[in-house]
Structure 1
Amino acid sequence: MTTTPRSPRLLVLSTVILAVVGGVALLGVPHGQQPPAPATASAAAAATDPSTAAVPPASQPTGPRPPSPASTTSASSTPAAPEPALPPHGEGPAGDRAIQRSLEESWPADLPADDERELLAAGRALLRADATGVGRAKWPEVFPASDQAVVPGFAAARFRIQAAIARRDGSPDKAVVHLVWAGMDRGGTFTDLRISDWHFTRESSKKGASTWTPQPRT
């Protein structure tokens, strides 16, 4: 398909019309004022790019404000977290008092003072005999002859009872002595915060006196 060439007269007429329209537009602008320049590509990009938006003054920060003196004071006056009830392993004799206090607070006393003293003395002696072999012959019902010949598992010089309490064991005629202790075994390893329980039963004699009898270990 071919295209008919445009007439020279038509091109001249189009040029004249464009010149007239341009002159009329210039006449509409007030004297001494330049016509507005067309928007450039950079201006259009600035209008659409959020990173080029107006930045607020430095005197009006948009981030979080620092705490007021009142809030700072309240934060600094907050009490510290409570210390752990038991001392860490390896604390030594300095931590024994804290262990004793923790036992007494978690298991309130429920025995007469005389019974408690008797039970504590017997429980301590039984634990020492069991761990070190010292005094096993005093309780043949607890440590039979076969047990008395066994080599002690812990050195008597490195044995220490850290804390002990005596409490009822479900009945007024039954009690348990709860002991926490430390010692060095035959392999040379020292360990503290060990736990042992010794159970007792109250027995009455023909004369009416009652004593606490230790029960064999099971």
Structure 2
Amino acid sequence: MTTTPRSPQLLLVSTAVLAIVGLTLLGLPRGNTPTAPPTSTTAHATTHPASTASPPKTPLEFSRSTAPAASTPSALTSALPPHGEGTAGDRTVQKSLEAAWPADLPAAEEKELLTAGRALLRADATGIGRAQWPVIFPGSGKAVAPAFATARFRIQAAIARRDGRPGKAVVHLVWAGQDRGGTFTDLRITDWPFTRTTSQKGGPAWTPQPRT
């Protein structure tokens, strides 16, 4: 079968049409391609959650949920005496604690909590008087090597406040001590929880709980 050859004029017209179409396409504005956002060269600091279960704190960190919002650690720390100030700075520490948490307990109950909280901290740190709280210090009848030297142990400040829940309280204690390695550190902080006692009239109103 023989194919009829195409007309030269048809080929020329087709070529011209294709050329015009090509030029038209080249002249059309191109769409705006979305550009990637510029990469920032500034490093972002990583925010670490506050603590919580942590080793004994050396700086004061008054940042419990029961503290007023205005009492930030930075604001309080700026009012604290420097480390190594000695007993001369204890009054300032006490005032800082009281300013962070206004009193919210009856005076008699606060006094009871402070007396027990101080004794518990001393027993925990130095081993003296642990037999008084066998539930808190199991095996207290055995000889225990104290974690801190009795002669260098000192409670710098203490307050007792409600713990945000019915029948709960906490004693906030700031103290100084020399550990077994001979390192003396002040402005340590310990919180001791208490639960209201339902006992006979005349008995203690609060019972200490094991620290977690």
Counterpart CA distance in 1 for 2:164 and 2:175 is 24
Supply the distance in 2 between the matched residues of 1:113 and 1:216 (Cα, whole angstroms).
24
Over 3 Å counting, the alpha-carbon distance change for 1:105 and 1:147 in structure 2 is farther
Instruction: Please state how far the C-alpha of 1:149 moved relative to its aligned partner.
Output: 3.7
What amino acid maps onto 1:174 in structure 2? K
1:145-160 mapped onto 2 (5 Å cutoff):
145=139, 149-160=143-154
Distance 1:116 1:174 in 2: 12
Residue 50 of structure 2 corresponds to: none
Task: Point out where structure 1 has 5 or more consecutive residues left out of the alignment.
Answer: 1-82
Distance in structure 1 (CA, Å) of the matches to 2:96 and 2:204? 30
Q: Are residue 126 (structure 1) and residue 120 (structure 2) matched?
A: yes
Match of 1:98 among 89, 92, 97: 92
Residue 144 (structure 1) aligns with: 138
Deviation, structure 1 residue 217: 2.2
TM-score, L = length of structure 1: 0.59
* Closer, same or farther: CA 208–162 of 1 in aligned 2, 3 Å: closer
Cα distance in 2 for residues equivalent to 1:148 and 1:103: 36
Partner of 2:205: 211
The residue that corresponds to 2:15 in the other structure is none
**Residue 205 (structure 1) shift:** 1.5
Question: Does the 8 Å contact 1:120/1:165 carry over to 2?
Answer: yes
Q: Give every structure 1 segment of 4 or more consecutive aligned residues whose post-TM-superposition deviation is greater than 6 Å.
A: none
Residues 207 and 95 of structure 1, relative CA distance in 2, 3 Å threshold: closer
The count of corresponding residues between Structure 1 and Structure 2 is: 136
Written as runs of structure 1 = structure 2, the 5 A alignment for 1:162-173 is: 162-173=156-167
| Code of the aligned partner of 2:148 | F
Letter in structure 2 aligned against 1:189: T
Distance 1:90 1:166, change over 3 A: same
CA RMSD, 1 decimal: 1.9
SS in 2 for 1:145: coil
1: distance between equivalents of 2:152 and 2:202? Answer: 41
Partner Cα distance (2:202, 2:182) in 1: 48
The answer to whether the Cα contact below 8 Å between 1:137 and 1:148 also exists between their aligned partners in 2 is no
Tell me if structure 1 keeps the 8 A contact 2:193–2:209: yes
TM-score by length of 2: 0.61
More helix by share: 1
Tell which has more relative contact order, 1 or 2 (C-alpha 8 A, sep 6+): 2
8 A Cα contact 1:158 1:183, kept in partner = yes
The letter of the residue matching 1:188 is G
